[in-house]
Structure formats: C-alpha cells, structure tokens
C-alpha cells in the first residue's frame, strides 16, 4: 500500500483516500482524500494492531533515520507506549515534531525573565515534541530528538544573550498557584524561580492575547538549569534545593526531577 505513496510530498499533492488512511500532521482532507499541506517526506505510521487505519503524515523535520522512511521494510515502528530506554539502540523511529507552536499539554523549555509576587514571566525557548513529553524521565532522549536544544539552552543560559530576542519569542506566565501541586498557598515565588533560570513547564492554556500559561506542578517539571548568585551552574540536590559546586552554597528553587 505504500508503493503508491511519494517519498516527498508538496502541498496540494493527493496522498491517499481517507478510506484506507487517517490524516496525520501536515495533511488535510478534501473530498474524502488526504492531501499534503506542507512539503516534506511522507510518513506512514502503521499501528501494530491492524484494526485502526495507519496514519499518513508529512514530516516537518528532517529525518535522520533512514528506517523511518515509508518504503522501509523493518518491523512497524513502536508506538509511544513501548518506551525504549536509552540503551545502545539508536534506531528509534523519529517522531516528526507536529508543530513548532506551543499547544495545550505540550512541554516547553522557557527562560525566566521576570519574577513577581504572584507570577513569573518566562519566554518560551523551544517546544519539546511528543516523544519527549511521553517519556520525560529520560533526558538523553530529549537531547537526541532535537539536535539544537542543547545549543538553544547553552546560548539562552548565557547572561549575555538575555533580552536580545525576547520580542520574537512567545511569552508565558507561571502563576503562583501553578508552581507546585502541594502547599500552594505557601509558595514564595522568589524561592521558586530566579531571572535567567531555564524551566521545563507544561502548557495549560493558550491564555490571553499576550501570554501562554504554564504549570510546573509535576515532579518532572520545574527548574532544569540555574546559575547561583556567583554565576556558576548549579546542580540539584533535592526537590527544592540546588547547590553551587564552586562556592558550595545552596539556593532554593522548584527543581525538576533530573532523571
């Protein structure tokens, strides 16, 4: 069935009837047919249980893995439920990133730009894709899925780059009651975030005209990178403490579970 599919689709190209496929990201449906809406490689996501139709999608990101091409004869790619550990098994099917925009429930990395009594303002650096959010316990997977995350983070954590391009990034708010799940009324924002911290958060709402709303009320969400007052990168020691490896001092943060 994949023989009739083109390897690379262009917008407006017919991919297949809706009777035999279901439309995935990068496609749209017109007259009971699936058409590509972006240019890129065509992916067929066949479900192991043959009851459901396989999903046709057009990838937005380049595939680094030839086995994920539609003409591959390798066993069907594991779905998100079969989490692969970060063993020496690199041919993990590379899920295409659906959207570069933050959507509800997507996990984002953001930099804190302002801390107030009731809320913290952050600017969203990168939206992590589905495969990352489905098993966020594995930081190596998140690093391998988006090559540029490390580059984005290292440049964003550098104090010299602050406020250079915040206007071009989506702004978000972490309200005081969304910081953690327990003892919400005892939250002191100054002890949770500092300006310049890199925070992993989950989008709870598209918000109003200017801000998205994020939450860090989960164990795996919170500050992932922070610098101490002395300017050294700190490592987490507990869910609310990070320590400076040089000065040895400890600072309070809402720390994300690192592994």
Would you tell me which residues interact with other proteins (CB under 8 A)? 7-14, 26, 28, 30, 35, 37-41, 59-60, 62-66, 68-69, 71, 99-101, 167-171, 206, 208-210, 212
Specify whether the CB–CB gap between 69 and 97 falls below 8 A: no
Nearer to other proteins, 8 or 188 (CB): 8
Residue 12 CB, shortest distance to other proteins, in Å, is 3
Nearer to other proteins, 99 or 161 (CB): 99
Nearer to other proteins, 89 or 210 (CB): 210
| Cβ neighbour number for residue 64 with a 10 Å cutoff | 11
Distance separating alpha carbons of residues 73 and 71, to the nearest angstrom? 6
Q: Rounded to an integer, what distance in angstroms lies between the CA atom of residue 227 and that of residue 116?
A: 19
Q: Which residues pair with 172 in a beta bridge?
A: 122, 212
**Cβ distance to other proteins smaller for residue 69 or 252:** 69
**C-beta of 69: minimal distance to other proteins in Å?**
6
For other proteins, give the closer residue by CB, 29 or 181.
29
Distance separating alpha carbons of residues 79 and 96, to the nearest angstrom: 13
CB 39 to other proteins: min, Å: 4
Please state, in angstroms and as integers, the Cα–Cα distance from residue 55 to each residue in 15, 64, 176, following that order: 11, 20, 40
Contacts of 42 (CB under 8 A, 6+ apart): 5, 6, 7, 8, 9, 15, 36, 56, 57, 58, 59, 70
Minimum CB distance to other proteins, residue 109 (Å): 16
Beta carbon of residue 87, minimum distance to other proteins (angstroms, whole number): 22
Nearest-approach distance from CB 26 to other proteins, in angstroms: 7
* CB of residue 193 to other proteins, shortest distance in Å: 21
The residue (of 169 and 218) whose beta carbon lies closer to other proteins is: 169
Contacts for 58 with CB less than 8 Å, ≥ 6 apart: 9, 25, 26, 27, 36, 37, 38, 39, 40, 41, 42, 43
Please report, to the nearest 10 degrees, the dihedral formed by the alpha carbons of residues 49, 50, 53, 54 taken in order.
70
């Amino acid at each position: 069935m994949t023989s009739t599919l083109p390897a690379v689709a262009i917008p407006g190209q017919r991919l297949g009837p809706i009777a035999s496929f279901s439309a995935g990201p990068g496609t749209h449906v017109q007259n009971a047919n699936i058409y590509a809406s972006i240019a890129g490689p065509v992916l067929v996501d066949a479900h192991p249980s043959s009851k459901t139709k396989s999903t046709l999608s057009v990838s937005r990101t380049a595939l680094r893995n030839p086995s994920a091409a539609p003409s591959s004869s390798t066993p069907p790619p594991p779905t998100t439920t079969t989490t692969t550990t970060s063993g020496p098994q690199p041919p993990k099917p590379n899920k295409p990133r659906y959207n570069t925009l933050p959507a509800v429930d997507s996990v984002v990395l953001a930099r804190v730009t302002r801390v107030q009594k009731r809320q913290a303002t952050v600017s969203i650096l990168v939206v992590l894709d589905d495969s990352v959010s489905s098993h966020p316990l594995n930081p190596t997977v998140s690093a391998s899925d988006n090559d540029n995350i490390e580059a984005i983070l290292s440049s964003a954590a550098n104090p010299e780059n602050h406020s250079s391009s915040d206007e071009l990034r989506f702004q978000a708010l972490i309200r005081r009651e969304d910081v953690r799940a327990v003892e919400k009324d005892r939250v002191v924002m100054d002890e949770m975030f500092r300006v310049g911290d890199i925070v992993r958060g989950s989008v709870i709402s598209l918000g109003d005209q200017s801000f998205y709303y994020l939450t860090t009320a989960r164990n795996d969400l919170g500050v992932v990178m922070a610098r101490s007052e002395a300017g050294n990168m700190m490592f987490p020691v507990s869910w609310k403490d990070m320590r400076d490896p040089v000065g040895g001092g400890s600072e309070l943060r809402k720390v994300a579970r690192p592994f």
